[in-house]
């Protein structure tokens, strides 16, 4: 829109255009500064190793790296963290393809067709396809993130405290409903997390809550030692108990890496599939609580349904590999959207990243789309650049990096012990944080052992403080009238549907399954049938 | 490595214990919040009330499952495990192998692992990070890892060097010091 234009003078762009354009350029300049680039490359290097090593999750490492961002500028901090996090998804596919062992939980779909391709002598083609499609998926996710910012800004600015409160509640219900079979346990863990979030000085009345007379608890329980203990503690204990190398399978022989260019050509040939699966990843990633494990199988299923040769899926179909690779990285860009715009994490990793927001003094929400828009765009650039670098490095360094997967667990234990300690201690330079970390580790191990989901607990701790604040803000501004706001009713209804619908659907499936089992039991059979696959190979076949 | 987990009984002592423990936590939270002003107590009371209700519901489920055997709850679990791609959060994908390792590890393995962790953190409190790291590293690699003394000492030296350079000189990250 032109305003006050003088003949011969350049048109004055609208205010919004100047801000977005300037932020896009200035953010690139900030990312390309030497110090920021160095930190991004350091993060990429860490993420590279973490993604390769099965058992060390990207989200766990993100939590461990979080304390080191205390002295960093926001752009630098996110260059370091995002550079590490976005790369783990890419390199996690490498072990999926070569060993049939997902380097990340979100790389499981890549095993279904990537590993069979390796077994039949096409590891290079599979790796080329999965790596290149991952890079394209990452770029797509970053573009979705960048493109959604101008669209999402007016939406975010029109959202008030009541809507933020309901989004928080909705985020929690999504996570809880995705506690798999343990829905009630998921709800209980989420409520426990909310209780933990309430520890500290009450912001309304200024009185200490659940502090047990300890000054340390007046500030509340820090998220960092909680996350470090909850996830890192269990990983450490697993290594100590298993006493074996992280990966013990040797399905490849050195030298069998020809065909990488064939895989890249396959990616370009199936460009439309790559875009569709990237869109699924970005779209599902945007939904708080859905996570990459959901997105990868939706994309995989879609690829199979639309393939001309669906019978090849699970036996080494290149389309299956492409679907898994493209989706895996696109979801990270999508998951960043609700995190940045609403402060609602789209996944476990973004829940940890929220901690980075707090550490760097940033507030997710409208500020990230206005005054801190350059930081937001820097995340887009980092996502794109780090994946391009990671793919390039992967192609160059595949052979020596694979050897890391055979390191015996006992070599990693001392390193992890130190990392856990420093990660917890640096939260507030207090031994009390180390104690919190140990308690959280105990909780994490018990939760795994007895199948109580940890993710609802973590997200509730992150979202609990926000929820309370928005609740009282909503009441202060609107009394109880905010309950009748249309957006609140819609979001509340949706949250109720998600929270109630999931167990109802599972119960229906259980009854249907029982009926099928009963019918099978009544039919005479000549061969034993199993209702449950005994091994992962049977499940994938 | 097999990913099957040991068979479960209809009621698991761990579930009962954890549920009762959490019930106690929520009840305590409710009682504690009773003494606070309205605004300070509102959210805690909502959370603890719902938590108490859900814990009681869980206890009811456990009792029902012990009476009926593997009908309701485990049938739902079987469905979740047996049908195609599983909708699981990204955390649970790792937990299947973790759960298996935790389930099959014997008491001795647990005692040894927890003992090393306890030794590290007690040593940390006593002598600080820069002393406990090389000591525990060498001892752990020698005793548990059965590595050579040279390899253990070299690893400890490198770890100490990286710690000092990275955290003290480059990042200026405060590190835990000991009492002595």
pLDDT tops 60 at residue B76: no
Contact (CB<8Å) B174/A243: no
pLDDT tops 70 at residue B56: yes
Phi, psi of B96 (to 5 degrees): -65, -45
Q: How far apart are CA B103 and CA B99, in angstroms?
A: 6
CB A466 within 8 A of CB A355: no
pLDDT score for A70: 82
Q: Which residues of chain A have pLDDT under 70?
A: 1-19, 52-57, 99-108, 119, 150, 152-159, 171, 174-181, 243-258, 287-294, 297-298, 346, 398-407, 427, 502-503, 505-507, 509-510, 523-541
CB A124 within 8 A of CB A255: no
> What is the distance between the terminal CA atoms of chain A, rounded to a whole angstrom?
59
* CA-based nearest residue to A339, from A374, A371, A379: A379
pLDDT score for A427: 66
Chain centroid to CA B84: 29
pLDDT score for A251: 47
Q: Give the up-direction half-sphere exposure of residue A355: CA atoms within 13 A in the CB hemisphere.
A: 29
Q: How far apart are CA A138 and CA A369, in angstroms?
A: 21
pLDDT score for B150: 94
- pLDDT tens across B123-153, in order? 999 999 989 999 999 999 999 988 999 999 9
Q: ∠ CA(A227), CA(A232), CA(A235), 5° rounding?
A: 145
- Helical axes A260-269 vs A123-157, angle rounded to 10°: 40
Q: How far apart are CA A481 and CA A8, in angstroms?
A: 54
* CA-based nearest residue to A351, from A38, A34, A66, A159: A66
pLDDT score for A415: 80
To probe the interface with B, which of A178, A181, A248 has the most B CB atoms within 10 Å?
Answer: A181
Evaluate the CA torsion angle B110, A233, B29, B47 in order and state its sign: negative
* Residue in A204, A422, A445 nearest the CB of B167: A422
Contact (CB<8Å) A105/B137: no
In three state form, how does the secondary structure of A122-177 look?
CHHHHHHHHHHHHHHHHHHHHHHHHHHHHHHHHHHHCCCHHHHHHHHHHHHHHHHH
What residue in A sits closest to B129 (Cα-Cα)?
A418
B174 contacts in chain A (CB < 8 Å): 425-426, 429
pLDDT tops 80 at residue B82: no
* Residue in B79, B87, B113 nearest the CB of A240: B113
Residue B162 to chain A, least CA–CA distance (Å): 11
- Asked if A205 reaches chain B (Cβ–Cβ under 8 Å), the answer is yes
* Residue in A105, A188, A243 nearest the CB of B58: A188
ipTM exceeding 0.85? no
Q: How far apart are CA A94 and CA A131, in angstroms?
A: 8
Contact (CB<8Å) A414/B29: no
| Element at A353 (helix H, strand E) | helix A348-359
Q: How far apart are CA A349 and CA A336, in angstroms?
A: 10
pLDDT score for A274: 94
In three state form, how does the secondary structure of A22-77 look?
HHHHHHHHHHCCHHHHHHHHHHHHHHHHHHHCCCCCHHHHHHHHHHHHCCCCHHHH
Neighbouring CB atoms inside 10 A of A481's CB total 11
**Overall pTM > 0.90:** no
**Is A157 or B161 the better-scoring residue by pLDDT?**
B161
What residue in B sits closest to A249 (Cα-Cα)?
B1
Look up tokens 């970005």; give the residue: A282
């Amino acid at each position: 829109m032109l305003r006050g234009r003088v003949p011969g003078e350049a048109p004055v762009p609208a205010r919004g255009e100047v801000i977005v354009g300037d932020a896009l350029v200035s953010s690139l300049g900030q990312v390309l500064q030497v110090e920021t680039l160095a930190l991004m490359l350091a993060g990429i290097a860490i993420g590279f190793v973490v993604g390769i090593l099965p058992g060390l999750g990207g989200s766990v490492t993100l939590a461990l790296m979080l304390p080191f961002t205390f002295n960093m500028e926001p752009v630098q901090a996110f260059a370091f963290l995002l550079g590490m996090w976005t790369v783990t998804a890419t390199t996690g596919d490498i072990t999926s393809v070569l060993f049939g062992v997902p380097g990340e939980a979100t790389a499981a779909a890549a095993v279904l067709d990537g590993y069979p391709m390796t077994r039949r002598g096409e590891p290079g083609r599979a790796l080329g396809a999965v790596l290149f499609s991952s890079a394209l998926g990452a770029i797509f996710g970053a573009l979705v993130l960048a493109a959604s910012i101008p669209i999402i800004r007016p939406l975010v600015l029109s959202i008030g405290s009541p809507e933020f409160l309901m989004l928080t509640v909705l985020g929690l219900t999504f996570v809880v409903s995705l506690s798999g079979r343990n829905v009630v346990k998921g709800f209980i863990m989420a409520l426990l997390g909310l209780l933990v979030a309430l520890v500290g000085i009450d912001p309304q009345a200024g009185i200490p809550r659940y502090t047990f007379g300890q000054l340390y608890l007046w500030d509340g329980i820090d998220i960092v030692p909680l996350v470090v203990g909850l996830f890192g503690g269990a990983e450490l204990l697993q290594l100590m108990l298993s006493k074996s190398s992280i990966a013990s399978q040797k399905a490849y022989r050195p030298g069998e890496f020809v065909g990488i260019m064939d895989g890249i050509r396959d990616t370009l040939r199936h460009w439309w599939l790559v875009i569709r699966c990237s869109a699924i990843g970005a779209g599902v990633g945007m939904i708080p609580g859905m996570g990459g494990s959901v997105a990868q199988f939706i994309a995989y299923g879609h690829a199979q349904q639309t393939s001309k040769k669906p019978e090849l899926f699970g036996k080494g179909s290149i389309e299956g590999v492409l679907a898994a690779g493209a989706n895996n990285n696109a979801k990270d860009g999508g998951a960043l959207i609700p995190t940045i715009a609403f402060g609602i994490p789209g996944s476990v990793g973004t829940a940890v990243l929220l901690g980075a927001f707090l550490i760097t003094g940033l507030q997710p929400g409208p500020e990230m789309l206005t005054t801190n828009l350059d930081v937001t765009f820097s995340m887009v650039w980092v996502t794109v650049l780090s994946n391009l670098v990671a793919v390039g490095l992967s192609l160059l360094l595949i052979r020596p990096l694979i050897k890391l997967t055979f390191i015996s667990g006992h070599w990693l234990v001392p390193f992890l012990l130190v990392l856990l300690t420093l990660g917890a201690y640096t939260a507030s330079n207090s031994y009390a944080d180390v104690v919190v970390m140990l308690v959280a580790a105990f909780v994490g191990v018990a939760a795994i052992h007895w199948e109580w989901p940890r993710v609802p607990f973590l997200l509730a701790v992150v979202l609990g403080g926000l929820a309370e604040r928005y609740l009282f803000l909503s009441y202060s501004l609107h009394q109880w009238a905010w309950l009748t706001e249309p957006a609140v009713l819609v979001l509340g209804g949706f949250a109720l549907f998600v929270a109630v619908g999931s167990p109802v659907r599972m119960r229906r499936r259980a009854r249907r399954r029982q009926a099928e089992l009963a019918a099978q039991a009544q039919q005479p059979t000549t061969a034993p049938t199993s209702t449950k696959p005994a091994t992962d190979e049977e499940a994938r076949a | 490595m097999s990913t099957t987990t040991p068979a479960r009984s209809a009621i698991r002592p761990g579930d009962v214990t954890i549920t009762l423990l959490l019930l106690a936590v929520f009840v305590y939270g409710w009682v504690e919040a009773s003494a606070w002003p309205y605004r300070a107590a509102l959210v805690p009371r909502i959370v603890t009330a719902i938590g108490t209700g859900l814990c009681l519901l869980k206890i009811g489920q456990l009792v029902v499952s012990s009476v009926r055997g593997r009908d309701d709850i485990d049938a739902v679990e079987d469905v979740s495990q047996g049908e195609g791609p599983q909708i699981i959060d990204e955390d649970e994908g790792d937990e299947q192998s973790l759960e298996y390792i935790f389930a099959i590890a014997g008491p001795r393995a647990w005692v040894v692992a927890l003992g090393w962790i306890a030794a590290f953190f007690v040593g940390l409190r006593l002598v600080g990070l820069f002393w406990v790291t090389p000591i525990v590293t060498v001892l752990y690699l020698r005793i548990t890892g059965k590595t050579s003394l040279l390899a253990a000492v070299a690893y400890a030296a490198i770890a100490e060097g990286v710690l000092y350079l990275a955290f003290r000189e480059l990042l200026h990250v405060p590190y835990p010091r000991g009492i002595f």
